[in-house]
Amino acid sequence: MTPPTTAAPVPDAYPLGSYKIHPPEDLADRIELVRKQLGDRLMILGHHYQQDQVIAHADLRGDSYQLSQMAAESTACESIVFCGVHFMAETADILANRPEKLAQRDGRRVTVVLPDMAAGCSMADMAAINQVEAAWADMGEVIDTRRVIPVTYINSAASLKAFCGRNGGIVCTSSNAAAVLRWAFERGDRVFFFPDQHLGRNTALAMGMGVEQMPVWDPYALELGGNTEQALNDSRVILWKGHCSVHQMFRPEHVAQFRGKYPGIQILVHPECPREVNDIADVSGSTGKIIQTVRNSPPGTKWAIGTELHLVNRLKAEHPEQEIHFLSPVLCMCATMYRIDLPHLCWSLENLRDGHPVNIIEVDPEVARWSLVALERMLSVK
Ligand code: SF4
């Protein structure tokens, strides 16, 4: 296998269509064969929300930042196949190919592959860099943006992370959002938080800020994101009008239904859920916290969990000693991540093994440089 050094298009020797007609068992065997042949040179990363038949082939399972960091630490790894969504593969490329890592490998890049380029993120797609830059310029007519710290959730395009890097801002995850906001308020008067309004609002509310201090910036509004000058002047956190299409589906009435039907049940949700759900849950936390909370609970504990369906089903299978329910009558799953299936995984792996990798994710060097600045600021936050 010869990793490429540029993002130039490479010939697609094996067409994807031919993989779709094979039975899953054959594809699983072929995937395992590639894993065996490439050994430590290949790392398959599986996000917690990924479907089981794909997760079965992952070397590492975790959330997006954990996975990227773990893969970047490997010295043997030459290629990463990220079974997640586009922004996750970008973060893996930025971390695995940062300058000191390249120097350690004599300039050799780690090839990062996303098995299906259509595996995007609805939330990340709600904030395009041109919209964020236009909003920054518009709010600068009313408030002093030198005192505004931009904060992007890690679930965002690399271009937004780079925007934060260039403008004194920072990246956050769902597990460190409060610490990152504290960091930001040590350096500015306000925060511009994107793309997830719910994580921003839930975190700021828990820190004691009032909802009236959190205007929502609608990139499609005609003026000032749909806000008055007064609202911007009174703001502490300006929230981007974005959300996760999966976590947005959980509703307060679902909480009421479960509490009515299962006395003693506890509600455990991700902070990407709307405020009305987050406020009445028993526990709210990142994917890592959700997993740990269930692991640390005694047998017989009853849970209704508000996060992505595949993760909840996996927790259910791994913890038969507890009673775990999915907190919605609707199947809330990450449809874009679900696009990565066995045919796409096998197709991308065999093309990689045979020297003509497909779907390479390589972030523009300038964007990667500034993204890294914002990511490293996050790492400095304790
Ligand atoms: S679950 Fe939501 S935030 Fe996460 S990748 Fe899917 S759409 Fe994006």
Q: Per-residue confidence at 11, pLDDT binned at 50, 70, 90?
A: low
pLDDT at 12: 56
Distance CA 375, CA 381 (A): 10
- For 216-243, how does the pLDDT look when each residue is reduced to its tens digit (9 = 90+)? 999 999 999 999 999 999 999 999 999 9
Tokens of 204: 């700021």
- From the list 87, 6, 1, the residue with the least C-alpha distance to 39 is 1
176-186: average pLDDT:
97
- For 106-140, how does the pLDDT look when each residue is reduced to its tens digit (9 = 90+)? 999 999 999 999 999 999 999 999 999 999 999 99
346-357: average pLDDT:
96
Q: Which atom of ligand 1 is nearest to the CA of 124?
A: 8
341-350: average pLDDT:
97
Rounded to the nearest whole angstrom, what is the distance from the C-alpha of residue 44 to the centroid of ligand 1?
A: 19
pLDDT at 9: 53
- For 258-294, how does the pLDDT look when each residue is reduced to its tens digit (9 = 90+)? 999 999 999 999 999 999 999 999 999 999 999 999 9
Tell me if the domain spanning 16-120+337-362 has CATH number 3.40.50.2300: no
pLDDT at 178: 97
Beta pairing class for 283-284 and 323-326: unpaired
Residue-range domain boundaries for the chain: 16-120+337-362, 124-244, 247-326
Q: Per-residue confidence at 5, pLDDT binned at 50, 70, 90?
A: very low
- From the list 154, 164, 166, the residue with the least C-alpha distance to 123 is 154
Q: Cβ distance 65 to 378 under 8 Å?
A: no
pLDDT at 72: 83
pLDDT at 1: 41
Note whether 16-120+337-362 and 124-244 share their fold.
Answer: yes
- H-helix segments, 10-85: 24-38, 52-55, 64-73
CA quadruple 145, 147, 153, 158: dihedral positive or negative?
Answer: positive
pLDDT of residue 332 exceeding 90:
no
3-state helix, strand, coil in the chain (%, to 5): 45, 15, 40
Could you name the CATH architecture of 247-326? 3-Layer(aba) Sandwich (3.40)
pLDDT at 317: 97
Q: Per-residue confidence at 64, pLDDT binned at 50, 70, 90?
A: confident
pLDDT of residue 379 exceeding 80:
yes
CA angle (36, 39, 45) in 5-degree steps = 95
Instruction: Domain 124-244: state its class.
Output: alpha beta
Rounded to the nearest whole angstrom, what is the distance from the C-alpha of residue 176 to the centroid of ligand 1?
A: 18
170-198: average pLDDT:
97
Task: Confirm or reject: Cβ of 378 under 6 Å from ligand 1.
Answer: no
Rounded to the nearest whole angstrom, what is the distance from the C-alpha of residue 142 to the centroid of ligand 1?
A: 33
Tokens of 181: 């906001």
**Contacting residues for 263 by C-beta, under 8 A, at least 6 apart:** none
The single residue listed with the structure tokens 């299962």 is: 262
239: left (phi over 0), alpha (psi -120 to 50) or beta: beta
Mutate to test the pocket of ligand 1, among 65, 114, 196, 245 (most ligand atoms within 8 A of CB): 245
Mutate to test the pocket of ligand 1, among 67, 194, 244 (most ligand atoms within 8 A of CB): 244
- For 161-176, how does the pLDDT look when each residue is reduced to its tens digit (9 = 90+)? 999 999 999 999 999 9
Q: Cβ distance 154 to 64 under 8 Å?
A: yes
How far is the CA of 179 from the CAs of 145, 278, 338, in angstroms?
21, 19, 32
pLDDT at 267: 98
- For 314-327, how does the pLDDT look when each residue is reduced to its tens digit (9 = 90+)? 999 999 999 999 99
Task: Confirm or reject: Cβ of 181 under 6 Å from ligand 1.
Answer: no
Rounded to the nearest whole angstrom, what is the distance from the C-alpha of residue 117 to the centroid of ligand 1?
A: 15
Tokens of 185: 């308020």
How far is the CA of 277 from the CAs of 78, 122, 216, 251, 280, in angstroms?
43, 20, 19, 6, 6
pLDDT at 269: 98
For residue 57, the number of C-alpha atoms closer than 13 Å in the C-beta half-sphere is 31
**Contacting residues for 326 by C-beta, under 8 A, at least 6 apart:** 304, 305, 309, 312, 313, 332
Residue 93 or residue 73, greater confidence = 93
Phi, psi (deg, nearest 5) at residue 157: -65, 155
pLDDT at 10: 52
55-83: average pLDDT:
91
Per the prediction, the chain carries an average pLDDT of 94
Rounded to the nearest whole angstrom, what is the distance from the C-alpha of residue 354 to the centroid of ligand 1?
A: 32
pLDDT at 35: 98
